[in-house]
Amino acid sequence: MQIKLNNPLDMHLHLRDGEMLETVGPLSADSFSGAIIMPNLLPPITDKASLLGYKQRINSAIGDRDFTLYMTLFFKPDYSRDFLLSIRDELTAIKLYPAGITTNSEGGLSGFDIDELRPILTTMSELNIPLCIHGETNGFVMDRESEFVPVYEKLAKNFPDLTIIMEHITTKASVDALDKYDNLYATITLHHLLITLDDVAGGMLQPHLFCKPIAKRYEDRDALQKVALEAHPKVMFGSDSAPHPQDSKECPGCAAGVFTAPIALQALAELFDKNDKLNNLQAFVNTNACRIYNIIPTEKTITLEKKPFVVPDKYGTVVPMFAGQELSWSIV
């Protein structure tokens, strides 16, 4: 049994830089037609020169593979209209991080005062630049995303022409918010579709499943699966694949991030197949994203076959999700 995916997209991807980029960049480019590239490097991507330089380094790492880079800026409230116009042709979205909430986000936003944000968000609305948000507060770790939902709703209400992407949603509360405002959308990761906090810390601690936002409850995972498997028109796949070296994961102060890029399509096919929803996988990994972002990706067909695939123990220095385990689908 085989299925063909046309132009599969990863709408939330961390490629890092330097040696790590050289390892993980080709892996995404082998499986996907393109990806939204996260800007939280050190230092973050905040100007045209750093954006173009990073894009050049990614293209060098992936070589001649067909893979469209959808570049983003790290959100700063003082970006001018002239600056955004000067970079618009190279820019797909702007990514907002609350300060200190996740990897390399120390320079993020400290508050969500509507009047202070109005100039930049109005300009983004007028220039059709989507706003991607890592939506968490600094509250109790299991409540951080749910506590952030009112912020999403406030932004959606005050800026109805702004496309707002709730990134890597993990809760039923975020799923419920999807249909409240026309301009709210969401990405969902592979790992949040499959695991709960029990998988991370219910027995022996599993560092390679530790991420931010942290996996939640069974009812949250069920809500995510429902909208993903039905290919709800406002959700799309974003891996949030976040590689860290093995020694940064298997240590005190474990880094947050799950590495899924090279096994994501195989695992998604397994999930959708088990639920008799394979016909909806194309919309989840392509059609919805193309409509939401108004993009036309690189032409690429990925063929998946229902044939066992043993996930490698490591890719370079990075341990993937399901390392050493067998998945029921393979990329041909």
Say which DSSP state 193 is in.
Answer: H
Residue 94 φ/ψ, nearest 5 degrees? -120, 135
Angle at 94 between CA 214 and CA 116, to 5 degrees: 95
- How many C-beta neighbours within 10 Å does residue 117 have? 20
Q: Looking up tokens 């799309």, which residue turns up? A: 236
Q: Are 228 and 208 in contact (CB under 8 A)?
A: no
Is the bond into 262 cis (omega within 30 degrees of 0)? no
Residue of 211, 68, 207 whose CA lies nearest to 134: 211
Rg of the Cα trace of the chain?
Answer: 19
Query: Greatest CA separation found in the chain?
Result: 55
Bridging pattern class, strands 34-37 and 326-327: unpaired
Q: In what order do the strands lie in the sheet with 164-166?
A: 9-13, 34-37, 68-74, 93-96, 131-133, 164-166, 184-188, 235-237
Cα separation, 158 vs 96, whole angstroms: 17
Distance separating alpha carbons of residues 292 and 185, to the nearest angstrom: 8
Check if 313 is active-site: no
- Is the Cβ–Cβ distance between 98 and 138 less than 8 Å? yes
Of 240, 273, 276, 313, the catalytic one is: 240
Active site residue ranges = 240
